[in-house]
Structure 1
């Protein structure tokens, strides 16, 4: 977990380390770690076992975690979703985006999504699912890396070169498939092409069979606030067909949403 005082010589007296540890425990759970022992939690959260015990006890009393009666392993409760839902409910961009995404899905019959940046990842915050086959299920809250996804590259392309390059260099950039572009120079060329087209393309770089086109949503200062992307499974689309038939609708959606977002400022 990133610390607000990570770059300071002296710790800030306002920084609450207990809160940091409690959040680290909550964030330690994942699809790969759905339930954990106290020792597992301490290791995953990078805290001592005694600290983990205090954090888990408090979180259990507050209803955020529970202990399985048979396995004695800890797991999250639905109460955790209250925090995430509050963000979605309070986010005006999501409210503005929903009608545009619904219209885009109706017009293209394909799945459309809104993502927002968090560190080196894009987070799904809205989604309208096609009635047709979709190769990958990405529920709200799912995270995808910036460097190898259409929404991530759309976001990066809307930034100045030096900022985009810094984010790329901070990314590990593993090759998820044989199509994943990981080279720094090649990725910067992709961003330049994205700026020229107005949208980014991901051709099976994260998941096989999954192709997406993404465009940035810009705020009043020309900075990206989100990205819209449309899923074009390779079982139904070639890249050329997707660009010619889906690209214009995607760009129109992103422009309209950007105009609505700027009106809020």
Structure 2
């Protein structure tokens, strides 16, 4: 960090955000000591952060257990981002049409570090094996949306992201070797879409395509869910991929106009 950025860096704000980020599905409710440990700070620092966040309405304390938990006000932070996101606004009609044409759930994701984050989705009436609400993050290296995004990057940039990912074998189908993933990316470039065949969750198959911006670089990815309980890979590629590619082209045209 440069000297100028060091002087501008607000450690109190950083600590406050660390406290908010410490809460999760595994840590829905925590004591002050647990907050301090999860956020990586001293108990006295955690006490100041928790008191401030509670005063501002982002945390509340249970009257009996004295444990802290997030309040719905935290959602305002994420909603402000979604509400101001121009691509989401223009993407919603295209996602709705993709779901209508395929009968399956369609989603829009964008990169966040080594992950893809869900920023829009239209849910089908059919059963979906894995619930992925807005804000959920999935790894790039083993998902259709992630590989679609990676395939549209220059090879050297994609390689850096893959090599620095924690390539965990989530299922027996997960590709974890760098060379294997690079081969799969070449296939994505040739056919225009990526397929995730139960690499992250069993029973979950998705087909994804990149969304390109004005400079030809990927800015997001769109994918359609094809549960293995309803689709074979061959049928999903034959029947769902054409509508997906049409949607990705329309979204890319819209993304270019936004820049």
**Corresponding position of 2:123:** 129
SS at match of 1:126: strand
Which 5+ residue runs of structure 2 have no aligned equivalent? none
SS at match of 1:154: helix
Give per-residue Cα distances to partners, 1:98-152, cap 9 Å, x unaligned: 0000000000000000011111111111010010111111111111111110001
Matched, 1:140 2:134: yes
**CA–CA distance in 2 between the matches of 1:40 and 1:170?**
30
**Corresponding position of 2:255:** 261
Q: How does 1:74-153 map to 2 (within 5 A)?
A: 74-153=68-147
**CA–CA distance in 1 between the matches of 2:3 and 2:198?**
44
Instruction: Specify whether residues 167 and 9 from structure 1 end up closer, same or farther in structure 2 by C-alpha distance, changes over 3 A only.
Output: farther
**CA–CA distance in 1 between the matches of 2:131 and 2:178?**
29
Give per-residue Cα distances to partners, 1:201-228, cap 9 Å, x unaligned: 1000010000000001000001111110
**CA–CA distance in 2 between the matches of 1:254 and 1:11?**
38
**CA–CA distance in 2 between the matches of 1:36 and 1:224?**
39
Q: How large is the RMSD of aligned CA atoms in angstroms?
A: 1.1
Moved over 2 A (4+): 8-11
Deviation of the 1:181 alpha carbon: 0.6
Deviation of the 1:11 alpha carbon: 6.5
Matched, 1:158 2:158: no
**CA–CA distance in 2 between the matches of 1:155 and 1:11?**
31
- Counterpart contact for 2:128–2:227, Cα < 8 Å: yes
SS at match of 2:120: strand
**Corresponding position of 2:205:** 211
**CA–CA distance in 1 between the matches of 2:182 and 2:33?**
43
Q: How does 1:203-242 map to 2 (within 5 A)?
A: 203-242=197-236
**Corresponding position of 2:164:** 170
Matched, 1:57 2:57: no
Query: How many pairs were matched up?
Result: 259
Match of 2:26 among 32, 45, 59: 32
SS at match of 1:127: strand
Deviation of the 1:264 alpha carbon: 1.7
**Corresponding position of 1:186:** 180
Deviation of the 1:10 alpha carbon: 8.8
- Counterpart contact for 2:87–2:258, Cα < 8 Å: no
SS at match of 1:71: coil
TM-score, normalised by the number of residues in structure 1:
0.96
**CA–CA distance in 1 between the matches of 2:97 and 2:18?**
39
**CA–CA distance in 1 between the matches of 2:5 and 2:36?**
23
Matched, 1:244 2:238: yes
